[in-house]
Amino acid sequence: MKKKIDEYQIYEKHYEQIHEQVKNDPYAKSLGIQLTKFEAGTAEATLEVQSTMVNAYGTVHGAVIYAVADHAFSVACNAYGKTSLGLSTTIQFIESAKPGDKIVARATEVKRNYRTGFYRIDVLHEQNLIATMDAVSYRKDHYFIEVDE
């Protein structure tokens, strides 16, 4: 019988290595997204909205809000060092943001099992909820760090 792996122990033992991997997302960096919180199953990312990130109506483009939420989701679901990919996301846009606003995406793990993970991501400007995303990850059989099994 195969021994069950305690992924929280992997997170604790390999925190620095996992953190280094997840914080170096080239796309997130290109947008100016900063990872501000990284814990097992949770993550927070921030972005200051630039004037080039707006739509024709002067409010932040939905793709930008999605990118911040998706980055927080990616970090949260990969926190255990196991390669996890986005399988499905649903985002609801509630309010708009504008240039100069600092938006924050907070991802929280709702449930995780061997193959899938379920996450809730809230995007806020100050205390105002501007979007919420439900996301599902697919967890591969591969760890992107060296794990002693």
Examine residue 128 and state whether it is found in any structural domain, yes or no.
Answer: yes
Q: Are 38 and 23 in contact (CB under 8 A)?
A: yes
Examine residue 74 and state whether it is found in any structural domain, yes or no.
Answer: yes
Examine residue 1 and state whether it is found in any structural domain, yes or no.
Answer: no
pLDDT digits (tens, 9 = 90+) for 36-58: 999 999 999 999 999 999 999 99
CATH number reported for the structural domain that contains residue 93 in this entry: 3.10.129.10
Vertex 75 angle, CA 73 and 77, to 5°: 65
- Domain containing 83 equals 7-143
pLDDT digits (tens, 9 = 90+) for 109-140: 999 999 999 999 999 999 999 999 999 999 99
Looking at this protein, which amino acid is placed at residue 22? V
* Domain count for the chain: 1
Give the pLDDT of residue 2: 59
Examine residue 97 and state whether it is found in any structural domain, yes or no.
Answer: yes
Find the DSSP H helices in 36-149.
62-77
Examine residue 148 and state whether it is found in any structural domain, yes or no.
Answer: no
Examine residue 81 and state whether it is found in any structural domain, yes or no.
Answer: yes
pLDDT digits (tens, 9 = 90+) for 43-102: 999 999 999 999 999 999 999 999 999 999 999 999 999 999 999 999 999 999 999 999
Show Cβ contacts of residue 114 under 8 Å, excluding neighbours closer than 6 positions: 139
Report pTM: 0.93
State how far the Cα of 33 lies from the Cα of 27, in Å rounded to an integer. Answer: 9
State how far the Cα of 71 lies from the Cα of 22, in Å rounded to an integer. Answer: 9
Examine residue 63 and state whether it is found in any structural domain, yes or no.
Answer: yes
